[in-house]
Structure 1
Amino acid sequence: MKVLLDLQHLNVATTGIKTYMVELAKAARKYPHPEVEWIFTHEPEVQAADKTYQGAKSKIQRLNYHLDYFRWKEFQLPDLVKKYKPDVLICPDFVSPAASLPCRRLTVIHDAFFWQMPENYPRWWRTYFLNLIRKGLKEDTQIITTTNYSKNSLLEYLGNDWPISVIYQAPKGLKAASDPQFLVKKHLPKKGYFVHIGTFDKRKNLPLLVNSFAQYLKQQPTIQKLVLAGGPGQSKQMNDFPVVEKLIESLGLQEQIILPGYLSDGEVKALYEGAFAYVFPSQNEGFGIPILESMGFGVPVIHSDQLALLEVAGGAGLPFQTGNGEDLTEKLILLDRDGNLRSQQISHGKERAKDFSAEKFIEAFHRIILNPTL
């Protein structure tokens, strides 16, 4: 069985989709199947390092990227299908070619955000992108998604015209050496800070976390820091970074709340190793990779009771009511005061993290590749 994996989108992917694509490619090579031959459209590391369109800011730069993406999906990728004659084409970035193809398609649609939160996207871009997604859902197509929550959401918006299967992904393999000097430079004592890693998209609810942390400091001033690592939201409509900056300034918490920006793998690793707890206040997620990364490092997790996060945490996290700042503050205080609870969270989290591995990730793909009726 010959499988063609489309990795073009790695030239701009920065968050969860990038992790998904890179870890899928790594797992395909690390855990080969005797009946499956994998062909990559690009070398993952080389494509991820391509800076041509990364950080495009001007309208011309963004237009050039969209034209390049369209050419790839509608002309170059179909040409590669003709060249390699795969039995299966996997597109892990929502979009499959609109052209008719002589092979099965596995299209990964990670979440239903484009349908659920239209206000977070430019209207023209959302209309265009949803059109691309729908035109690629044709012929022998099977949708792959990340959680049962995402599956149910997609069924609501797409119906059941195409089979939808859930494959749990693997967290990012942080193989780089830890950079403990990062903690020293940022004046972060070990086990002396809460952490969140990710973009400042509005759905992440980071202003809620800042306000809850401020209330926590008034009632339980033992953990003195909060680290919000990551870059701005992915569009003007989605970006809460300026809101968070102004809020921190208005609260006078510039010394207590650290905004280090994007970090290297070594810095991320050090951040996890030294954290007291991870806090995930998001109002909507398709999966929630940081939950598993944190649990794998023995870091307890406080997360909103959003359905995907509850599903991924599997009872090993400490949930609070989504959008309820008072409840979040109470959970921050509870975890700080109750050492036994924190120890239990660490133990349960380590066990839960074992359920999500690169080997299980690729085995699930192999089952669907070899058994079209699954």
Structure 2
Amino acid sequence: MRIGIDVDILRLSNTYTGIPNYIRYLVEGLTKLELRAQRVFLLSNHPVYADDSFPLHISQVVVRWPFKRGWNNFALPWTAGRLKLNLLHLPAFNVPFYATCPLVVTIHDLAYLIHPECCQQQTVEYLSRKVPLALKKASAIITPTASVKKEIIEHFRFPVERIFPVWHGVSPIFKVLPPDVVAKARKVLALPDPFILFVSTVEPRKNLKRLIEAYGCAVARGLGHFLVIVGARGWLCEEIYELPRKLGLEKRVLFLGYISDELLPALYNAADIFIYPSLYEGFGLPVLEAMACGTPVIASKISSLSEVVGEAGILVEPLDTNAMASAMLFLAGNADAKQKLAQKGLERAIGFSWEKTARETVKVYEETFKLAK
């Protein structure tokens, strides 16, 4: 079976978060599989992998489409036909208007539909066109959780048996690190001690205004930890950056911006507690990364995060700042609870790997190909 994967979005990403992270880790997982009956082609408009030393079953194909537009609607179908692909995987929502082979589409979430107030209007309008088109054209849908599958079933008419939940994995770089490595990162990043950590894009959907307000309540009740917020600037983030000053917390809340993979695992390790109060997620990869690093987790009690965290973290209602503050205070003052939760997180994270994600994704390819015959 000849499989194409659209990886072109990687050339547009200066930072790896969200969908670009999913693509690069999926490809990494595929390289670790021994695929004898499948050949995988990574399709892009320009080179996205400097090192082309892939195993024999994976090849990078640079199409070099000369126009600013038309990659999805013309270059991809044309390339699929030229390579005689049996299947094309589109991991970033985009689908062509016509296809020369069956399409597998990954739909990561329905944030634009379920929480439109947390999305830019242009994003809502764009995805309101793209997602229904993807569902119309796709032979199969991959979702990161059963929760997203359920949401698709509730909001769209799509055959249940052709929606496949495939959990994301966690990179092996996220693990418990030696104290000297963590100490070095503390020095490089000038980290306070102790601190509570948040990692993700700074934007409304991540519920950071309530987190900062809850943190302020916890400080007023005796919390001695700092709050460290890590992530690239998103949309409507100005009020989030201003809030600590308005609450008199500007010396207690630190914004570090985007942190690369070189330092991110050590940052998780250095944190006393990880908190992720998001209003909505398709998966919530930072939560899994924190658990894999042995950091106790507080997360939102929403369907996808509940699915990922299981019983390995404290789940709180994302709109309840008092519950959020109480959870921070409880863990900060209870070393035994932190240790038990950290151990549960480590045990939970063992069940996730990108190799497993890749293996399950290949099963979707095989099932889709079989049904298309």
Taking structure 1 as the reference length, the TM-score comes to 0.86
Corresponding residue of 1:2: 2
User: Is 2:215–2:325's contact at 8 Å kept on the other side of the alignment?
Assistant: yes
Q: 1:303, 1:96 → 2: CA distance?
A: 33
- Partner letter of residue 294 of structure 2? G
Q: 1:250 to 1:74 in 2, by over 3 A?
A: same
Moved more, 322-331 or 119-128: 119-128
- Partner letter of residue 7 of structure 2? L
> SS at 2:70's partner residue?
helix
Structure 1 residue 280 displacement after superposition: 0.4
CA deviations over 1:204-251 (Å, ceiling 9, x no partner) = 11011111111111223332x111011222x4xxx2x21122111112
Corresponding residue of 1:369: 365
Residue correspondence of structure 1 range 223-242 to structure 2 within 5 A: 223=225, 225-233=226-234, 235=235, 239=236, 241-242=237-238
Q: 1:175 to 1:290 in 2, by over 3 A?
A: closer
User: Is 2:212–2:244's contact at 8 Å kept on the other side of the alignment?
Assistant: yes
Unaligned stretches of 5+ residues in structure 1: 48-66
- Partner letter of residue 233 of structure 2? P
Structure 1 residue 173 displacement after superposition: 4.9
User: Is 2:171–2:354's contact at 8 Å kept on the other side of the alignment?
Assistant: no
Q: 2:74, 2:229 → 1: CA distance?
A: 41
Alignment RMSD, CA only? 2.3
Q: 1:340, 1:180 → 2: CA distance?
A: 23
Unaligned stretches of 5+ residues in structure 2: 52-66
- Partner letter of residue 198 of structure 1? S
Moved more, 307-316 or 148-157: 148-157
Corresponding residue of 2:352: 356
Q: 1:138, 1:335 → 2: CA distance?
A: 47
Q: 2:158, 2:216 → 1: CA distance?
A: 45
Structure 1 residue corresponding to 2:151, chosen from 153, 159, 175: 153
Q: 1:147, 1:252 → 2: CA distance?
A: 39
- Partner letter of residue 21 of structure 2? T
Q: 1:340, 1:155 → 2: CA distance?
A: 42
Residue correspondence of structure 1 range 184-199 to structure 2 within 5 A: 184-189=187-192, 192-199=194-201
User: Is 2:135–2:158's contact at 8 Å kept on the other side of the alignment?
Assistant: no
Residue correspondence of structure 1 range 202-351 to structure 2 within 5 A: 202-223=204-225, 225-233=226-234, 235=235, 239=236, 241-351=237-347
> SS at 1:207's partner residue?
helix
Structure 1 residue 301 displacement after superposition: 0.3
User: Is 1:33–1:366's contact at 8 Å kept on the other side of the alignment?
Assistant: no
Q: 2:129, 2:189 → 1: CA distance?
A: 45
Structure 1 residue 149 displacement after superposition: 1.0
Corresponding residue of 1:93: 92
Corresponding residue of 1:168: 167
Q: 1:219 to 1:140 in 2, by over 3 A?
A: closer
- Partner letter of residue 198 of structure 2? H
CA deviations over 1:108-150 (Å, ceiling 9, x no partner) = 0000112112334444553344323333444561011111111
- Partner letter of residue 220 of structure 2? K
CA deviations over 1:300-352 (Å, ceiling 9, x no partner) = 10011011101000110111122100000100011012211111101110010
User: Is 2:111–2:119's contact at 8 Å kept on the other side of the alignment?
Assistant: no
Corresponding residue of 1:58: none
Q: 1:267 to 1:220 in 2, by over 3 A?
A: same
Structure 1 residue 41 displacement after superposition: 0.7
Structure 1 residue 6 displacement after superposition: 0.4
Residue correspondence of structure 1 range 115-130 to structure 2 within 5 A: 115-130=113-128
Taking structure 2 as the reference length, the TM-score comes to 0.86
CA deviations over 1:74-109 (Å, ceiling 9, x no partner) = 0111111011111110000012111132x2211000
Q: 2:173, 2:12 → 1: CA distance?
A: 20
Corresponding residue of 1:114: 112
> SS at 2:298's partner residue?
strand
Q: 1:226, 1:117 → 2: CA distance?
A: 26
Q: 1:292, 1:40 → 2: CA distance?
A: 27
Q: 2:185, 2:311 → 1: CA distance?
A: 32
Q: 1:197, 1:19 → 2: CA distance?
A: 14
Q: 1:212 to 1:41 in 2, by over 3 A?
A: same
Q: 1:11 to 1:157 in 2, by over 3 A?
A: farther
User: Is 1:180–1:267's contact at 8 Å kept on the other side of the alignment?
Assistant: no
Structure 1 residue 175 displacement after superposition: 7.9
Corresponding residue of 1:11: 11
